[in-house]
Structure 1
């Protein structure tokens, strides 16, 4: 079992090109299930279990209060593991062949408004030192590129081309995409780079965004930064880097961008992933329709 798990971990990292964070989540899910199997079915191993035993675990997770979305994520980890075991010939039959994901309620997330984005990007809420200039650029870059938090953190200095006004972003599974740098962002970048060059120590010199101590950013820092600044301008409960990505897509669609172009900018592999952002655009269309159509005025 241990050898199979180690082989699966290498497969995810080296062949599937998953991030360390994603791989850890997969392995943690499998180990949790392994402990459940050992304590519930005694002599059974992961290679011997059947779907009825998997269903028992699903019921246990639901009884513990886990959401359908959380249960499905854990099941996704296990499905990937058993497909891998089939691939390397460790099992003859996939116990997940009959599995169907639990239905999940659709969560409609309301993005930040254009007014909120204007407020959070107004210069009077930022200090004029390195940290203030950097913080404003972080928020503006998230909003004008739609990049993920992980992509922002891993953005390298060499991939910011001011001459060609292009950002090269490395997304999931090392998939690269190019995003234009708007003139207003170019000015902010030049301002930030001037401040960056004055840092006394630069440890992670290859990375574009740095902390004041010269280290690269981390996920917690970016999340807190977004919460702090948006807390000044928005009453929304959810304030996160992903919500800015959501806002980026929605505002583009509201202003006439095609679904395909937004898909490319977000780095999605399929339109299905991008379509989750269209509900807000439909809401905007309904308002326009209600105001403009002759029949709605009667």
Structure 2
């Protein structure tokens, strides 16, 4: 069974990233292997729901958590939707499937004082990497962009005269993000250092490794984890937490949720609302300390 056509569909039509396509195909291979062990000869497109359900039970018994199982089942669901679209099946065996329940994960953002403690007095040491690392942290916190979006930034995406960045998000959707004046100055300084450090005509991406290559995900994670560990003992110190922190701080300061949605590049408000629990907590604190009916006698 070849999944080449399905892979092309995910890449060209759904615009999924290469690592996402790879994960989908790996999930389908794992399910195929299960079917092969259970049935011998089999046709993936014709598998009924009871077989898929037994695979789900097998995954849970092997120790996978519900979140991981749901992700694997989502790969199958996408595959069967594709088969339905191609007219190869009459109905998806997962049409009535309900995802396994997963505990709500509350991610705690960094406080304004923690971020100010890190960035307010941060004077990077000499050298390209030190200045790059500070700008990476600053951009993630002041724009709310995703890690992949930061890695994908190219020199041509920066408009210092207008004070904006052009960001390519999920499904290749572009959006324009405003830059704070202080960040514009930092980018100017960084670009001068970058130009002196690397030959002209080098890699077009904005951020480079010390060898002049495009940044990669693990390096960005290490940069963020290293510097956030200086101001907080929180166990979660990832690029996504900076995105979470960006949204929470804007909402705490009274930003309109629709505006935050646009800045984050969300397609719906439902995705943005996951950040509101922190701003609501702040509003409750202000309400409790400020309302006259809550004054103790």
TM-score bracket for the superposition, by shorter chain length: over 0.9
Residue of structure 2 in register with 1:88 after alignment: 86
Measured against aligned partners, the alpha-carbon deviations of 1:61-114 in whole angstroms (never above 9, x if no partner) come to: 111222211111111111000000111122233111221111111111110111
The DSSP-based 3-state class of the residue aligned with 1:178 is strand
Counterpart mapping for 1:268-287 below 5 A: 268-287=266-285
> What is the root-mean-square deviation in Å for CA atoms of aligned residues?
1.3
- Secondary structure (helix, strand or coil) at the match of 1:47 reads helix
Residue 257 of structure 2 corresponds to residue 259 of structure 1: yes
Where does the alignment leave 5 or more consecutive residues of structure 1 unmatched?
Answer: none
Per the alignment, do residues 122 and 131 of structure 1 end up closer, same or farther by CA in structure 2, a change over 3 Å counting?
farther
Aligned position for 1:193: 191
The count of corresponding residues between Structure 1 and Structure 2 is 296
* 1:44 Cα deviation from its structure 2 partner: 2.5
Q: Give, in whole Å, the separation in 2 of the partners of 1:229 and 1:200.
A: 25
Contact 1:202 / 1:213 at 8 angstroms: preserved in 2? Answer: no
**Deviation beyond 6 Å, 4+ runs, structure 1:** none
The separation in 2 between residues aligned to 1:162 and 1:144, in whole angstroms, is 15
Unmatched tracts of structure 2, length 5 or more: none
- Post-superposition CA distance 1:151-181 (Å, at most 9, x none): 0000010010001111110000110101111
User: How far, CA to CA, are the matches of 2:276 and 2:36 in structure 1?
Assistant: 45
Residue 35 of structure 2 is matched in structure 1 by 37
Q: How does 1:23-172 map to 2 (within 5 A)?
A: 23-124=21-122, 126-172=124-170
1:10 aligns with 2:8: yes
Q: Deviations over 1:19-55 (max 9, x none)?
A: 1011111111111111111112323221221001111
Could you list the per-position Cα deviations for residues 248-278 of structure 1 after superposition, in whole angstroms to 9, with x for gaps in the alignment? 0000000001110000000000111111000
CA distance in 2, matches of 1:204, 1:179: 25
Partner of 1:19 in structure 2? 17
The separation in 1 between residues aligned to 2:65 and 2:202, in whole angstroms, is: 39
Distance 1:292 1:123, change over 3 A: closer
- Residue aligned with 2:107, SS: coil
Equivalence map 1:213-224=2 (5 Å)? 213-224=211-222
